[in-house]
Structure 1
Amino acid sequence: MRWTSGSALLVLASTIAACGPAPQGERESASEQSYAPSEVRPPAEMAADRGGAPTNAAGAPAGIAVTASPGVAFNYRYAFSLPAARVAAAQEDHAAACEKLGIARCRITGMRYQLLGEDRVTAMLAFKLDPTLARQFGKEGIAAIQKAEGTLIDAEITGTDAGAEISRLAAERARLTEELARIDRELARTNLPASERVELQTQRAGITQRLEAGRAATGEQRESLANTPMTFDYRSGRAVRGFDAGAPLTSSLDLLAASAQATLAFVLGAIAVLGPPALVALIGLLVWRRFRQRARRPKPAETTASD
């Protein structure tokens, strides 16, 4: 397991280096490029290539189509549970799937792998995706986890109305531009008093700063629409059983195992805490009884006198 984890980390590190942020010109061309439907395979077809289903067994939502919510910037987060020995391989499969799409449509922005114990692993993989591919990529990622005998345990999709914010910023920019034009007309006057000119110049500098901040905010909102963040969280857990993990029998067995582990842990903890003091007390008691017995024995002189 340690060898597999180490090799997976090396591959992922090289992948992140190859999938770094795209140049500015390449990002702009990618945001303006339209992808034909024939370039993207259906989720069911890609899941079939991996031997998994396009959705998870519980039927949890795997994404939201961007056409259903135009102007909304989505953020996808999935959490998976799978055997510890398969976490590194699943993480590597997801990284390879992103690399296959190309840096114009998918970039790896972060990675983490932690070996907490012999059978305890946590990991994370973060992406930025073309919004038109986010839903499909999520389904394919779930299918890869199912193939690795894992399951989807949490799915969260949040959205921000970036389109409305861009419209508000555009209206604010238009109002500030008109105000700036009015100030420039006032500053063009030759008979303007010096004190008023200083005041208008101060106002102009403030408006210019607000315009620059508005342009930066508009750029951030457009960036959120052009690139969809997606995060995969991995944690070690049991393999998927042959029957529903939420069934009463399975829940009872899990509760029994958890109770036995808690009881054993409590007993071992009590022994570890109380064992040394109890041992010292026992030794002290034995020593005290030994000296007490010696003290009670009659001395030879006393025995002779009594005779």
Structure 2
Amino acid sequence: MRKIWILAGATMLATGLGACSEAGDSALHEEAAMDAEYSAEASEVAADDGAIPELGDIPVNMPQLAYTYDYRWALPAADIGPLQRRHASLCEQQGPAACRILGMSKTGEEADEVTGVLEMAVASRQARAFGALLEDEAQDAGAEQVSAEIASEELSRNIVDTEARLRARTELRDRLLEVLRTRKGTVQELVEAERSVARVNEEIDQARSWLRQMEGRVAYSRVTVRYETGVPISSDFLAPVQGAIGALGSIMGYLAALLILIGSVALPVGLGAWGIRMAKRRFAPVSAEAEA
């Protein structure tokens, strides 16, 4: 009997070992097949002139940037107004969807220092090209470029945060409206829910306003053109003369102010001294006769 159990155990052990061996051989065959397939793919890649195989498009969120352009031009005072109007007309020619005038101002007389500012909102995709058109117009007018600056502000995080806040407040409003619709709760709870809905609606409107403002800043770049007085090349000879005349006028003004100041102080003092002297002359003989 004992021999029978031993033979049965040996048979089961041999069967298990065979099954394990077959499973191991199957796994080895599969691994070998995968290695062969990988080697074939690697050989094809290596044979393709060392080119790196193309991968699928990786979704990437582009940064949301708000650009600002600032240009400064110097030209004679009499030419600032015409150039400013030409730049404004150039903006209007692009159409309201591409360029909008936000403000335009000009201060000073043509004989004195004149400054001007033109502010525009230009579609971000066309802002650089529009800046080149402004430069061409300014060069045709004989203006000299003093500075040109381009700055940007990253708004991606603010936009994402505002969108998340908007979604959260919208979900809260929907839950509160569901409470009011089903009329579940006490009267006090329903009244508080109505007040909460009003507050949440206000926050939703504010978040939407912020989101539209930031999206507008991304879609439209702010372009500012500044104009200031410059001396034309043909009047280099007269520039020192004009400067000297201007300085002489300032000096004469200071002298006149000094004389007025001295007169306002010296006149009362002189009148007082003259009055004292006249009084002494008048009363001096009377005193002499009294002593005699």
Name the TM-score class by shorter chain. Answer: 0.5 to 0.7
Q: For residues 159 and 92 of structure 1, do their structure 2 counterparts lie closer, same or farther at Cα, with a shift above 3 Å needed?
A: same
* Structure ranking higher in helix proportion: 2
Residue 257 (structure 2) pairs with residue 273 (structure 1): yes
- Do the aligned partners of 1:78 and 1:154 also contact (CA within 8 Å) in 2? yes
Gaps of 5+ in 2: 1-61, 275-280, 282-292
What is residue 115 of structure 2 aligned with on the other side? Answer: 122
Q: Deviations over 1:196-233 (max 9, x none)?
A: 22222222221111111111221222222222221211
2:118 and 2:84 map into 1 onto residues whose CA distance is 7
> Does 1:264 pair with 2:248?
yes
Alignment of 1:200 onto 2:193: yes
- Aligned counterpart in structure 2 of residue 91 of structure 1, from 84, 105, 124: 84
Of 162, 167, 181 in structure 2, the residue corresponding to residue 169 of structure 1 is: 162
**Identical pairs, percent:** 28
TM-score (norm: length of structure 1): 0.56
Amino acid at match of 1:127: M
1:72 positional shift: 0.8
Unmatched tracts of structure 1, length 5 or more: 1-68, 242-253, 289-294, 296-307
Q: Partner of 2:96: helix, strand, or coil? A: coil
Question: C-alpha distance in 2, partners of 1:216/1:100?
Answer: 30
Cα RMSD between the aligned structures? Answer: 3.7
Q: Distance in 2 between matches of 1:230 and 1:203?
A: 42
Q: Which residue of 2 aligns with 1:33?
A: none
Of the three residues 210, 214, 220, the one matched with 2:213 is: 220
From 228, 235, 246, give the equivalent of 1:235: 228
Aligned partners of 1:279 and 1:216: how far apart in 2?
A: 65
Task: Kindly indicate whether the alpha-carbon contact (under 8 Å) linking 1:109 and 1:126 is maintained by their aligned counterparts in 2.
Answer: yes
SS in 2 for 1:120: coil
Structure 1 residue 189, shift from structure 2 partner = 4.5
Is the Cα contact below 8 Å between 2:78 and 2:110 reproduced in 1?
A: no
Mapped partners of 2:181, 2:107: distance in 1: 65
- 1:112-191 aligned at under 5 Å gives the runs 112-191=105-184
Could you give the per-residue CA deviations for residues 20-59 of structure 1, whole angstroms, max 9, x where no partner exists? xxxxxxxxxxxxxxxxxxxxxxxxxxxxxxxxxxxxxxxx
Kindly provide the CA deviation profile for residues 32-89 of structure 1, in whole angstroms up to 9, marking residues without a partner as x.
xxxxxxxxxxxxxxxxxxxxxxxxxxxxxxxxxxxxx841111222221111122122
CA distance in 2, matches of 1:265, 1:102: 49
For normalisation by structure 2, the TM-score amounts to 0.59
Distance (Å, rounded) in 2 between the aligned partners of 1:199 and 1:219: 30
* Pairwise CA distance, 1:112: 1.8
